[in-house]
Amino acid sequence: MPTPMTEPRIRPTPDDPRLSRLVAGVDQTGAAIETSVVTERPLTLFLNAREIVTMMTIGDHPDLLAVGYLLNQNMLKTDDEITAIEHAEDIDTIVVRTKRQTDYEDKLKKKTQTSGCAQGTVFGDLMEEFDRIELNPDARLKTSWLYALTKKINTEPSLYLKAGAIHGCVLAQEDRILVYMEDVGRHNAVDKIAGYMFLNGIEPHDKLFYTTGRLTSEMVIKTVKMRIPILLSRSGFTAWGVDLATKAGLTLVGRARGKRFVALAGMNRIVFDADLSRMEDEGREHRRKGAAED
């Protein structure tokens, strides 16, 4: 059995000069300031010879973003063989090449736009697949893991803490962060993790997924499509997100801040093992910033 990872395999790199820059301005008193703002650049995705979409992204891990996007839009199947991923940074383009051609044109005809801070789409056949997916009923979420994990995420150096205006997503096992991705759109951060799991053969049945964003229908659909049985967030819910989570048997936990959380689906997986009398509430500074960014 492999030795468990104690450090994230991929973590935020807030000091990467490509991902943020200083901008001069003034504060509420009129005093001159400099503040960090995240970068945003286009990335045009091709699947074989066909242009699919142009995404706005911070620009890190374009290969994972491209593969994850195609997987989560059902344009790439789990049994597809990727023969090449070609990133041309100078022209903001990435091409994913597969051994067999895809049927993406038929899928595009069934595309519907959904809410979100990126170009999120849901296809009719994606919902058909959603109805067939069975999540691991034996997965568990100990509240001690939840509290330890959220504390690690809140204190991990990140672009969120440096500049704000960004979403983060985490793939975890028990209370260990495996992969931590950030992007200007939460959908992009999810897709990067989906791409990482696909390219590295990561099994989803015993994993947890954490997002800083709202628990919308699309977040639930993507998590279920990745076969991850537990979805967590520091933010709130939408009614359709809760309905879909209940239908899929997904454990859905939101408003997870400090020692507080609310579970609205899949509560049978939760093991209440933490001593709340020993837990601290989230600090006022982080709570105020989090409320502004959600």
Are 62 and 95 in a shared domain? yes
Query: How many folded domains does the chain comprise?
Result: 2
Same domain, 185 and 256: yes
Dump strand ranges (E) for the chain.
20-26, 32-38, 41-47, 50-57, 82-88, 93-98, 111-113, 121-123, 141-142, 167-173, 176-183, 208-211, 230-233, 251-257, 260-265, 270-271
| Domain enclosing residue 107, as ranges | 41-121
Residues whose CB is less than 8 angstroms from the CB of residue 51 and which lie 6 or more positions away in sequence, other chains included = 44, 45
Low-confidence ranges of the chain (pLDDT < 50): 1-5, 110, 112-122, 285, 287-293
Specify whether 148 is located in the same domain as 276. yes
Instruction: Give residue 165's pLDDT.
Output: 81
Does any domain span residue 278?
Answer: yes
Q: Say how far apart CA 204 and CA 133 lie, in whole Å.
A: 13
pLDDT of residue 40: 93
**What is the pLDDT at residue 70?**
93
The domain that holds 277 is classified in CATH as 3.40.140.10
